[in-house]
């Protein structure tokens, strides 16, 4: 969750977007050219099994670093259960990250830095760093929300390869100086944006001021509808707020990629609430903040969502630790979107009202 963007961006969040009509391949998820030959994701993200791991550090000191601009790193030991049941380990460095969760969570999001040479050939595959998201607070609701936020990444993966992979983890947090600190809770790793771009033969462009009219039409439509489906309003493409832009080496198109979904209505975190400048009071109230897409493009996009529905729901139903009540809450919430998607009148009211501006 990034810091909230300035007020002036609100007027730019809804842009008129008039792309070319869909090609004959429009029913497929948005994908850059050459995706059929795209490189495989890093080894960490090739499995859907939760990674059993232990993270040991002086967390009293680590979690005191609440400065979003901090460059401090702290030594830690990472251990994880290998494929053969053996326990592997490596020294790492931790850095706190984020904005809102950095201020409010007792267990804050982390960047975990590796020695590339020491991890070469291991599960972490010689990578420089990954992001690790923990449970924020001790309550059961927070633990359950970790599962839902993790599943949200998988749903986005079903729609487009220009999306971050995630890996669920069962994390035991250990502070040698405080035996009472030890706790085991779910968390998840997320792919580095640069690695995702490489997987799609591209690069990340960290340039603000972009707008939807400059983006790949299909990727933009899929991402706009996805944000509406999960009821996420905490983003801005123009300010790269919970967005990244990818350009491939085989196309001049720009591909928007959304991430960081903890403030979505699907997750419905206890701390989440819409920006006071928006016309909704609860994060579970959907508000479309995307662009004006031609009817042909929008209907084709909704067709993609319906075709991928079962696959997307499996990202929730496949999590054994998700309680029946929390699973029902999440699927009921998604069912509301799917019911809307088959009613052309509601589609026009919810997703094309922006075209009248």
pLDDT at res. 207: 86
Assess whether 21 and 90 both reside in one domain.
Answer: no
Assess whether 54 and 151 both reside in one domain.
Answer: yes
Assess whether 186 and 71 both reside in one domain.
Answer: yes
Partner residues linked to 349 by β-bridges: none
Share of the chain above pLDDT 70, in %: 89
Q: For residue 15, what are the contacts with CB-CB under 8 A and spacing of at least 6?
A: 211, 212, 213, 291, 292
Ordered DSSP codes for 162-207? SS--EEEEEEEEE-TT-GGG-EEEEEEEE--HHHHHHHTTEEEE--
Q: Is residue 271 part of a domain?
A: yes
Q: Is residue 256 part of a domain?
A: yes
Range of the domain at 211: 7-32+201-356
Q: Is 255 exposed, middle or buried (0-12, 13-18, 19+ CB in 10 A)?
A: buried
Q: Is residue 2 part of a domain?
A: no
Q: Is residue 1 part of a domain?
A: no
CA dihedral 178, 184, 188, 194 (to 10 degrees): 30
Q: What is the largest CA-CA distance in the chain?
A: 61
The answer to whether residue 99 scores a pLDDT higher than 70 is: yes
Assess whether 255 and 207 both reside in one domain.
Answer: yes
Assess whether 110 and 235 both reside in one domain.
Answer: no
pLDDT at res. 34: 55
Query: What's 290's DSSP letter?
Result: S
Mean pLDDT in residue range 87-112: 94
- Which pLDDT tens digit goes with each residue over 17-64? 333 323 333 345 566 655 444 566 789 999 999 999 999 999 999 999
- Which pLDDT tens digit goes with each residue over 151-183? 999 999 999 999 999 999 999 999 999 999 999
Q: Is residue 38 part of a domain?
A: no
Integer Cα distance of 141 and 185 in angstroms: 12
Q: SS3 string of 105-126?
A: CCECCEEEEECHHHHCCCCCCC
Ordered DSSP codes for 225-274? HHHHHTT----BTTTTBSEEEEEETT-S-EEEEE---TTSTTT--TT---
Q: Is residue 292 part of a domain?
A: yes
The answer to whether residue 308 scores a pLDDT higher than 80 is: yes
- Which pLDDT tens digit goes with each residue over 263-307? 999 999 999 999 999 999 999 999 999 999 999 999 999 999 999
* Cβ–Cβ < 8 Å for 186, 170: yes
Assess whether 186 and 205 both reside in one domain.
Answer: no
Output the six-digit token pair for 51: 């990674």
pLDDT band at 253 (very low <50, low <70, confident <90, very high): confident
Choose the final residue of a domain: 194, 221, 250: 194
pLDDT at res. 271: 93
Assess whether 319 and 292 both reside in one domain.
Answer: yes
Strands 183-190 and 166-174: antiparallel
Dihedrals phi, psi of 68, to nearest 5 degrees: -65, -15
Assess whether 24 and 86 both reside in one domain.
Answer: no
Q: Is residue 37 part of a domain?
A: no
Number of domains observed in the structure of the chain: 2
CA dihedral 231, 237, 242, 248 (to 10 degrees): 120
Mean pLDDT in residue range 71-80: 98
Choose the final residue of a domain: 149, 178, 194: 194
Partner residues linked to 255 by β-bridges: 246
Choose the final residue of a domain: 194, 216, 243: 194
pLDDT at res. 6: 40
Supply the pTM of this predicted model: 0.90
Query: What's 34's DSSP letter?
Result: T
Assess whether 265 and 297 both reside in one domain.
Answer: yes
Q: Is residue 120 part of a domain?
A: yes
Which is higher by pLDDT, 100 or 312? 312
Assess whether 175 and 61 both reside in one domain.
Answer: yes
Integer Cα distance of 167 and 145 in angstroms: 15
Output the six-digit token pair for 349: 């009211």
Assess whether 261 and 352 both reside in one domain.
Answer: yes
Query: What's 280's DSSP letter?
Result: -
The answer to whether residue 335 scores a pLDDT higher than 90 is: yes
Output the six-digit token pair for 71: 């460059």
Assess whether 28 and 96 both reside in one domain.
Answer: no
Rg of the chain (C-alpha set)? 20
């Amino acid at each position: 969750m990034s810091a909230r963007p300035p007020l002036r961006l609100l007027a730019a969040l809804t842009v008129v977007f008039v792309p070319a009509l869909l090609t004959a391949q429009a029913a497929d998820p948005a994908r850059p050219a050459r995706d059929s030959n795209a490189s495989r994701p890093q080894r960490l993200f090739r499995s859907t099994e939760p990674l059993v791991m232990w993270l040991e550090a002086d967390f009293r000191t680590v979690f005191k670093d609440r400065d979003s601009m901090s460059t401090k790193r702290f030594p830690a030991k990472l251990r994880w259960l290998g494929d053969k049941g053996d326990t592997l380990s490596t020294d790492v460095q931790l850095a706190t990250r984020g904005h809102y969760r950095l201020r409010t969570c007792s267990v804050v999001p982390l960047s975990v830095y590796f020695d590339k040479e020491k991890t070469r050939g291991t599960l972490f595959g010689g990578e420089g760093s990954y992001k690790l998201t923990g449970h924020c607070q001790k309550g059961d609701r927070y633990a359950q929300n970790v599962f839902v936020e993790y599943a949200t990444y998988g749903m986005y993966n079903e729609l487009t390869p220009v999306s971050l992979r995630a890996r669920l983890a069962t994390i035991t947090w250990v502070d040698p100086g405080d035996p009472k600190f030890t706790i085991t809770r779910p968390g998840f790793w997320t792919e580095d944006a640069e690695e995702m771009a490489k997987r799609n033969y591209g690069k990340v462009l960290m340039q603000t001021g972009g707008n939807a009219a400059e983006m790949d039409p299909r990727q933009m439509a899929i991402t706009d509808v996805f944000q509406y489906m999960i009821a996420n309003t905490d983003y801005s493409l123009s300010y790269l707020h919970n967005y990244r832009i990818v350009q491939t080496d085989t196309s001049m198109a720009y591909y928007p990629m959304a991430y960081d979904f903890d403030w979505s209505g699907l997750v419905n975190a206890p701390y989440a609430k819409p920006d006071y400048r928006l016309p909704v009071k609860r994060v579970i109230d959907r508000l479309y903040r995307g662009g004006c897409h031609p009817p042909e493009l929008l209907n084709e996009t909704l067709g993609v969502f319906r075709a991928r529905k079962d696959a997307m729901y499996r990202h929730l139903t496949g999590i054994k630790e998700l309680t029946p009540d929390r699973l029902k809450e999440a699927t009921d919430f998604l069912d509301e979107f799917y019911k809307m998607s088959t009613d052309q009148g509601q589609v026009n009211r919810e997703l094309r009202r922006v075209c009248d501006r």
